[in-house]
């Protein structure tokens, strides 16, 4: 005889008392009982009946008494389990502990407390309620239990001495949308990028000569770029090539360190076929429209440029027809042009002012010969020019030997009576800053 089972669901509900530590819950226990225990008939089943065998009364199943006992045992086990959970259980012999969690007391620091305990040698600390800190941060903090924020202390870290604050870039007034990205422009109020993005400089001290330095070749190598940013004084202007994959972040880091930045624009040299500065190079044969597109592509690569410096470009900077449209576009955008002084045939210092463009040409290329002794000689010549004329300008590249000798030279420059200044401070810029 086949055995037929039936599942009976029994639901027990335990209510939480005032002193009960257990939450209110309901537990469903499903007890299995034999059909025979409830007095239901059991019928033979062809699926479970052995083939070729007759029914055996002795194999029909458990006796009614045994089935009743099994059902009663199942129900008893369920009740015992609920009694264990609902009553004062002994945790089945397992170790347990009870901990009391109390709400944190309100912070004792008042909003007006400065934290100055008046102790000798102690610095007063600026303190504030954490709620104020959270409000100032602009981040909404939600606590599920609704408790107040804990006490907090605001620590203000001063900027390193001598660090100049540059204006944030991009300035919304100075942004023109283009197919290449945001381009610099003169603002509706007359503000110019060359003035807004420049490194602030004190007025020239009477009787003290000045030197402006522009170091290029940055943006192509992270290690070289970071070294120039951190090793050189903030007064040194840095020029970035437009090809770097991390140009925006590097340019921003340079400005945070106090360096004003320029775009180093590749231009056609005399041996252009053999010496190619790279894609987007300004060339004589490309035509003015194409060259302006290439210039705009490069200017849109990062924000905060005060102007451009040529990279190579001996042939391009000597051709007025090719050069003039580019310099005119720079002037209309409120930028400056720095000629690195590498080509004696360049006419940028002549054409630029005729287009209302501020141009500064380097007097010395300090690493035309990348040798330590020759770099030192070039820096000495630069000092002599500054004393003779009151102002001298130099250009160079971010070579390891250049950075080493230049940083060492700059450390004692002020003690020799010469001021190092950003290149923008040497130009009379028109318009508003």
For each of the domains in the chain, give its residue range(s) and CATH number, in order of start. Answer: 5-86 (no CATH), 172-426 (3.20.20.370)
CA 181 to CA 301: how far, in whole Å?
8
pLDDT score at 382: 98
Q: How many CA atoms lie within 13 Å of 318's alpha carbon, on the beta-carbon side?
A: 12
Tokens of 183: 């381009």
CA 337 to CA 308: how far, in whole Å?
5
pLDDT score at 361: 97
pLDDT score at 11: 43
Long-range contacts of 76-80 (CB under 8 A, 24+ apart): 78/10, 78/12, 78/29, 78/31, 79/12
pLDDT score at 60: 47
CA 296 to CA 310: how far, in whole Å?
15
The per-residue pLDDT string of the chain (433 residues; one tens digit each, 9 = 90 and over) reads 444 444 444 444 444 444 444 444 444 434 444 344 444 444 455 555 555 555 554 444 555 555 555 555 555 555 554 444 445 445 555 565 666 676 666 555 444 444 444 444 444 434 445 565 555 555 556 666 666 655 544 444 444 555 678 999 999 999 999 999 999 999 999 999 999 999 998 888 888 999 999 999 999 999 999 999 999 999 999 999 999 999 999 999 999 999 999 999 999 999 998 899 999 999 999 999 999 999 999 999 999 999 999 999 999 999 999 999 999 999 999 999 999 999 999 999 999 999 999 999 999 999 999 999 999 999 999 999 999 999 999 999 999 999 999 999 999 999 999 999 999 999 987 655 4
Tokens of 61: 């199943």
pLDDT score at 45: 52
CA 264 to CA 155: how far, in whole Å?
40
pLDDT score at 296: 98
Asked whether the beta carbons of 80 and 38 are under 8 A apart, the reply is no
Helices (H), 37-93: 64-86
The b/e string for 3-17 (b: 16+ C-beta within 10 A; e otherwise) is eeeeeeeeebebeee
Tokens of 174: 């100075």
């Amino acid at each position: 005889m086949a055995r037929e089972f039936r599942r009976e669901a029994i639901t027990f509900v335990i209510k939480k008392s005032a002193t009960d530590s257990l939450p209110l819950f309901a537990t469903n226990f499903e007890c299995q009982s034999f059909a025979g225990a409830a007095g239901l008939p059991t019928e033979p089943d062809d699926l479970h009946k052995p083939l070729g065998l007759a029914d055996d009364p002795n194999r029909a199943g458990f006796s009614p008494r045994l089935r009743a006992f099994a059902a009663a045992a199942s129900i008893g086990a369920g009740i015992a389990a609920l009694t264990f959970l609902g009553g004062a259980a002994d945790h089945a012999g397992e170790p347990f502990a009870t901990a009391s969690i109390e709400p944190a007391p309100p912070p004792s620091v008042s909003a007006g407390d400065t934290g100055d305990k008046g102790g000798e040698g102690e610095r007063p600390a600026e303190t504030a309620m954490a709620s104020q800190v959270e409000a100032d941060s602009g981040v909404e903090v939600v606590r599920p239990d609704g408790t107040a924020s804990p006490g907090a202390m605001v620590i203000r870290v001063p900027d390193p001495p001598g660090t100049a604050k540059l204006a944030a870039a991009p300035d919304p007034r100075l942004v023109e949308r283009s197919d290449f990205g945001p381009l610099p422009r003169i603002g509706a109020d007359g503000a110019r990028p060359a003035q807004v993005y420049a490194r602030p400089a004190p007025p020239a001290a009477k009787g003290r000569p000045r030197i402006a330095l522009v170091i290029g070749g940055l943006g192509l190598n992270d290690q070289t770029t970071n070294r120039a940013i951190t090793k050189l004084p903030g007064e040194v202007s840095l020029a970035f090539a437009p090809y770097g994959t991390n140009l925006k972040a590097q340019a921003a880091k340079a400005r945070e360190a106090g360096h004003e930045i320029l775009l180093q624009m590749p231009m056609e040299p005399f041996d252009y076929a053999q010496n190619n500065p790279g894609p987007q190079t300004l060339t004589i044969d490309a035509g003015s429209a194409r060259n302006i597109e290439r210039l705009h592509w490069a200017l849109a690569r990062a924000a905060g440029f005060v102007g451009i410096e040529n990279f190579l470009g001996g042939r391009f900077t000597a051709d007025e027809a090719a050069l003039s449209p580019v310099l005119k576009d720079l002037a209309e955008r409120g930028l400056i042009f720095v000629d690195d002084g590498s080509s004696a045939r360049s006419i940028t210092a002549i054409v630029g002012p005729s287009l209302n463009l501020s141009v500064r040409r380097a007097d010395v290329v300090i690493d035309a010969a990348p040798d330590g002794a020759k770099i030192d000689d070039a820096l000495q010549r630069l000092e002599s020019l500054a004393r003779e004329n009151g102002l001298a300008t130099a250009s160079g590249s971010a070579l390891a030997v250049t950075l080493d000798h230049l940083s060492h030279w700059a450390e004692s420059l002020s003690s020799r009576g010469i001021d190092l200044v950003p290149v923008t401070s040497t130009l009379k810029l028109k318009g508003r800053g």
